[in-house]
Amino acid sequence: MGRFVGFYPCITKSVVASFAGAAIAVGPVGGVAAAVPRSDDVSDQIQTAPGTPDAPEVSALSWTVTDVGTGKLLGAKEPHLRLAPASTLKTLFAVALLPQLPAATEHTAVTADIDDVAPGSSLVGVHEGTSYTVGDLWRGVFLSSGNDAVHTLARLNGGMALTLARMQATADRLGAHDTSVRSADGFDTPGQYSSAYDLSLFAKAGLQNPDFRRYCGTKSAQFPATGGPDSFGIQNTNRLLVGSHGVEPYPGLIGVKNGYTSEAGNTLVAAATRHNRTILITIMNPQDTSANAVYEESRELLDWGFDAAPQAVKAGQLRGSGSPSTPRHSEAAHHGAGAAQASTSGDGSSGLTRHLEAAVALLSLACLPFVLKAVRRRRRRSTK
């Protein structure tokens, strides 16, 4: 140690200069990414099978197509464009709250459960004095898009404020930095937005939960399921799942969630499985004004996704570059509409590691001449 301390003053200036240069070269080494402007160019994230035709031209303002098995984007248009999500935000509500509320828990509805449901909301028909299980209420959320069921579940979760905080924390944990939560049910609210990319993150997380998969794929049910004089039948409003209003059901559709508000227009998150592959699409605000545009455009994107998804992931097989892992976007994303700044870590730790490794490597190179010089001096002394 004494020899190192004696040698240290000789290298201090050079090392400091080299380390400073390394820090400049590799960027910040803290957990917060540099404030790099975001861009909607996601070409470096996209991987498709060789020979895949171009994605279909659809009228939606924003969409994504994802291979759920690999987590890779197959195609996208304005994936980080911040738009009103409508009831597709209920996917985030479910991801955040499903683990908190046991399905068998019973609750007798009271007026306070639904007092603050916004006028004009979609309702499943929660009635004061009727007993529901949490499972009944989740079916009300997914099938009828019932905002009254959402608000009842939020009260069971400890209140709306806690629920909104949990939803936002879940979005942040998933890397959904285009999402600002202001309502639990997706109803148009000032300051609330999400993106097609973020909705795909919520759906991928949800599909890992068997309860989520079961609820989002249920076509019809009794509400409440126990029957009785207050029970009635409900049907899923996702036309691509059930086949209604002139829409043919999509083969292999798992389900997920549709939505509509006057501000959001039509929105849809849909997933389907074919030949052991699952394709997930998100689509926001088609400009085609026909009644079923969101469903037919989703059908086109799903068909294209199955053609575009590689059968196997092998070196040199795919177009594009990047890791199969889901990209993580920097906090700088909050300050720009539409973008894709990729990193492979969910918490920023791998970026920090790379920065430190680069700095250490440059530091070692800077020290090498002095180390060699010290070794030569020591050898000369030992030969005297």
Instruction: List residues with catalytic annotation.
Output: 87, 90, 145
Residue 279 pairs in a beta bridge with 67, 272
How far is the first Cα of the chain from the last one, in angstroms, to the nearest whole number? 24
Cα gap 142→258, rounded to integer Å: 9
What Å distances lie between residue 130 and 113, 185, 321, CA to CA? 12, 22, 55
What Å distances lie between residue 264 and 5, 38, 94, 146, 366, CA to CA? 66, 23, 20, 17, 57
The number of residues making up the chain comes to 384
Is omega for the bond preceding 369 within 30 degrees of 0, making it cis?
A: no
Cα gap 57→43, rounded to integer Å: 17
- Distant-in-sequence, close-in-space partners of 321: CB < 8 Å, separation ≥ 6: 44
Cα gap 258→33, rounded to integer Å: 34
CB neighbour burial string for 277-311, b if at least 16 within 10 angstroms, e if fewer: bbbbbbbbbbeeeeebbbbbbbbebbebbbebbbe
Q: From the CB of residue 142, how many other CB atoms can be counted at a distance below 10 Å?
A: 29
Which of these, 266, 293, 298, lies nearest to 282 by C-alpha position?
298
